[in-house]
């Protein structure tokens, strides 16, 4: 994986260096650098102090004909050597739109997502939309796994065909394969549909089918009424069945499905103020079914104040309950400083003992200082405690620079 990171970085530098002077002057480079120091207590009672350097880079119009480069990654290490903190390359790819009429190309590390599956990939992604109402997407390359690494025999490839046959209707059919050491580990088919009826009712569905185990592994269907300007109503059904690599020992064990029915009412109360009421029915095979109710309000910053508050109540068929309150407020003190405070308070009834009620509390303070239009500093300090765990603190300071 590190070889790919060095290759992508070297390719970007070499490409820019080889550009003619007049082309280099036309290149647009922008991005963000974020330098962060964090500290927190570990399970052993020690203090970890990881440091991060995040870098986001966008290079536009490299060849004066629409060739762009986008990259984002981080360097990381724990100053106290208490935790293993990994450096990561999230994405780094070249993008060219209109390579030929209707064909777009991306090459490099990128996130690919279809109804059949998603992954981080080192490879080639092609989109062709020159077939009238149809579009075709092809992709293939190395299947990236951060925690185990990968080699040249770990491959992902797939195809997606999309169609816009009538106004406001989008259909997608997709197929994805994953290979580990040249052995097929996943073979997935997917279907997605989205239809917005007269800008009144949005109906959508998505399904993933595991061809190796011959079972539906994921399903989502929902509808959202959004005709009114000050409220909307949404209902969803979710189905999920875990799938494992065919080479994993876990693939021989039976797994339990999870189903969920939910509905949510969103209200536009006033300028910058919204409220919501949500109900979720959680359905398990091996655990008690549960019902979750949540009521919340949010204030978007239109002047000096922004924040949210929500209350959650959860009960299940076994008599276990959860009551929670979440809130956060942020004040713009002046053009330079924003200060905030928040808390999450939950009352949990554990399964370990029938009369064990554990109260967990998370309280924090945060501050943002905007030094100028391109430079800001963020800071946060948090205190967490419960009846089962000692109190502990964590915090972070981040310097952001736009360029």
* Digit-coded pLDDT (tens) for 96-150: 999 999 999 999 999 999 999 999 999 999 999 999 999 999 999 999 875 566 6
What is the number of domains present in the chain? 1
- Give 376's contacts (C-beta < 8 A, 6+ positions apart): 368, 369, 370, 399, 400
Instruction: Please check whether residue 202 is in contact with residue 210, taking contact to mean a CB–CB distance below 8 angstroms.
Output: no
What distance lies between CA 219 and its chain's CA centroid?
A: 19
Confirm whether 61 is domain-assigned.
yes
- Reported as type and span, the H/E element at residue 49 is none
Beta strands (DSSP E) in 83-200 are 88-100, 103-114, 117-131, 134-143, 155-163, 169-180, 183-197
- Mean pLDDT, the chain, rounded, equals 87
* pLDDT for 351: 37
Rounded mean pLDDT of 269-278? 96
* pLDDT for 254: 73
- Give 319's contacts (C-beta < 8 A, 6+ positions apart): none
Q: Please, which pLDDT band fits residue 272 given cuts at 50, 70 and 90?
A: very high
- Reported as type and span, the H/E element at residue 5 is helix 2-18
Number of Cα atoms under 13 Å in the Cβ half of residue 131: 13
Instruction: Please check whether residue 61 is in contact with residue 68, taking contact to mean a CB–CB distance below 8 angstroms.
Output: yes
Q: Could you tell me the residue range of the domain that residue 6 belongs to?
A: 1-88
* pLDDT for 334: 95
Angle 3-117-100 from CA coordinates, rounded to 5°: 70
Confirm whether 79 is domain-assigned.
yes
Task: Please state which of the ranges 103-107, 134-138, 153-157, 206-210 shows the lowest mean pLDDT.
Answer: 153-157
Other CB atoms closer than 10 Å to residue 177's CB: what's the count? 19
Nearest of 137, 193, 200 to residue 165 by alpha carbon: 193
* pLDDT for 19: 52
Confirm whether 80 is domain-assigned.
yes
Confirm whether 1 is domain-assigned.
yes
Confirm whether 262 is domain-assigned.
no
Confirm whether 366 is domain-assigned.
no
Q: What is the pTM of this model?
A: 0.82
pLDDT in tens, 211-236: 999 999 999 999 999 999 999 999 99
* pLDDT for 320: 77
What 3-state class would DSSP assign to 135?
Answer: strand
Q: Please, which pLDDT band fits residue 177 given cuts at 50, 70 and 90?
A: very high
Other CB atoms closer than 10 Å to residue 260's CB: what's the count? 16
pLDDT in tens, 7-58: 445 445 445 544 554 555 568 999 999 999 999 887 777 889 999 999 999 9
For residue 319, give both structure tokens.
């008599």
Instruction: Please check whether residue 232 is in contact with residue 208, taking contact to mean a CB–CB distance below 8 angstroms.
Output: no
Question: How far, in Å, CA of 150 to CA of 147, rounded?
Answer: 9
Tokens 């208490």 sit at which residue? 82
Q: Please, which pLDDT band fits residue 5 given cuts at 50, 70 and 90?
A: very low
Tokens 């494992």 sit at which residue? 244
Confirm whether 364 is domain-assigned.
no
Confirm whether 39 is domain-assigned.
yes
Question: How far, in Å, CA of 117 to CA of 174, rounded?
Answer: 9
- Reported as type and span, the H/E element at residue 132 is none
For residue 163, give both structure tokens.
């169609």
CA distances to 52, 154, 392 from 366, rounded to whole Å, are 19, 43, 17
For residue 246, give both structure tokens.
């065919």
CA distances to 157, 183, 314 from 3, rounded to whole Å, are 21, 23, 48
User: What are residue 12's DSSP bridge partners?
Assistant: none
What 3-state class would DSSP assign to 230?
Answer: coil
Distance separating the N- and C-terminal Cα atoms of the chain: 28
Nearest of 85, 57, 89 to residue 73 by alpha carbon: 89
């Amino acid at each position: 994986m590190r070889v790919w990171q060095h290759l992508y970085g070297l390719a970007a530098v070499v490409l820019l260096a080889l550009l003619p002077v007049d082309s280099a002057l036309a290149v647009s480079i922008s991005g963000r650098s974020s330098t962060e120091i964090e500290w927190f207590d570990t399970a052993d009672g020690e203090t970890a102090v990881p440091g991060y350097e995040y870098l986001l880079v966008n290079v536009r119009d490299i060849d004066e004909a629409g060739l762009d480069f986008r990259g984002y990654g981080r360097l990381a290490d724990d100053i106290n050597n208490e935790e293993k903190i990994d450096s990561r390359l999230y994405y780094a790819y070249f993008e060219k739109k209109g390579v030929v009429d209707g064909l777009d190309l991306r090459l490099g590390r990128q996130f690919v997502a279809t109804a059949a599956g998603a992954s981080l990939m080192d490879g080639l992604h092609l989109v062709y939309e020159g077939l009238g109402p149809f579009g075709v997407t092809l992709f293939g390359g190395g299947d990236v796994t951060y925690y185990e690494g990968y080699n040249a025999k770990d491959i992902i490839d797939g195809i997606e065909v999309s169609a816009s046959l009538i106004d406001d209707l989008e259909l997608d059919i997709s197929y994805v394969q994953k290979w580990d050491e040249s052995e097929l580990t996943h073979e997935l088919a997917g279907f997605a549909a989205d239809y917005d009826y007269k800008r009144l009712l949005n109906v959508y569905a998505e399904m993933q089918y595991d061809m190796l185990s011959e079972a539906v592994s994921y399903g989502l269907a929902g509808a959202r009424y959004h005709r009114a300007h000050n409220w909307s109503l949404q209902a969803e059904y979710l189905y999920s069945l875990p799938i494992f690599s065919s080479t994993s020992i876990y693939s021989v064990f039976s797994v339990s499905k999870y189903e969920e029915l939910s509905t949510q009412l969103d209200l536009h109360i006033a300028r910058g103020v919204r409220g919501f009421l949500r109900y979720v029915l959680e359905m398990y095979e091996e655990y008690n079914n549960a019902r979750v109710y949540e009521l919340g309000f949010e204030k978007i910053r239109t002047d000096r104040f922004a924040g949210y508050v929500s209350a959650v109540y959860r009960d299940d068929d076994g008599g276990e309950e959860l009551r929670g309150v979440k809130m956060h407020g942020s004040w713009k003190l002046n053009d330079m400083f924003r200060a905030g405070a928040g808390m999450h308070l939950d009352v949990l009834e554990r399964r370990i003992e029938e009369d064990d009620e554990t109260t967990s509390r998370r309280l924090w303070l945060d501050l943002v200082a905007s030094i100028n239009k391109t430079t800001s500093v963020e800071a946060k300090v948090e205190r967490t405690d419960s009846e089962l765990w000692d109190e502990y603190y964590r915090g972070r300071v981040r310097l952001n620079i736009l360029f």
